């Protein structure tokens, strides 16, 4: 079964609004990452948060991690039409340092 499960599956917002996506996982992790995929293209790494970190920022992105709840959230502030894409969380599990397990993704649509 998938380690990372994103919620919601799809999200539609207007430009300028904030977008929040959530990810839940099942086992102990070493790190959690978020990737972006434009339609039919390869995934691009956005941000990584370690298991001992609670929050991380990168530009308009903010990621939080709650290991007690086994969940993470990705916040995109002041969204733009160019943010339209699918967003995936990926967990790097403890003991399997090289393996990343991806969730099913959240499809974000940002309209003008």
Partner 1 sequence: EAQVTQNPRYLITVTGKKLTVTCSQNMNHEYMSWYRQDPGLGLRQIYYSMNVEVTDKGDVPEGYKVSRKEKRNFPLILESPSPNQTSLYFCASRAIGSGLAKNIQYFGAGTRLSVL
- How many of the other CB atoms lie within 10 Å of CB of 39? 8
Tell which one of 54, 57, 80, 99 touches partner 1 (CB under 8 A): 99
Size of the site for partner 1 (CB under 8 A): 26
Positions 15 through 74 that interact with partner 1 (CB under 8 A):
30-31, 33, 35, 40-45, 48, 50
Binding flag, residue 100, partner 1 (CB under 8 A): yes
Residues that bind partner 1 (CB under 8 A): 2, 4, 30-31, 33, 35, 40-45, 48, 50, 88, 90, 92, 97-105
């Amino acid at each position: 079964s998938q380690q990372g499960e994103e919620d919601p599956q799809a999200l539609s917002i207007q430009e300028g609004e904030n977008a929040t996506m959530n990810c839940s996982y099942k086992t102990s992790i070493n790190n959690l990452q978020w990737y972006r995929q434009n339609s039919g293209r390869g995934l691009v790494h956005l941000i990584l948060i370690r298991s001992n970190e609670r929050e991380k920022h990168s530009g308009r992105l903010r990621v939080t991690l709650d290991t007690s709840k086994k969940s993470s959230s990705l916040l995109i502030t002041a969204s733009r039409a160019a943010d339209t894409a699918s967003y995936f969380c990926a967990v790097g599990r403890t003991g399997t340092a090289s393996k990343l397990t991806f969730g099913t993704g959240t499809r974000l649509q940002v309209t003008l």
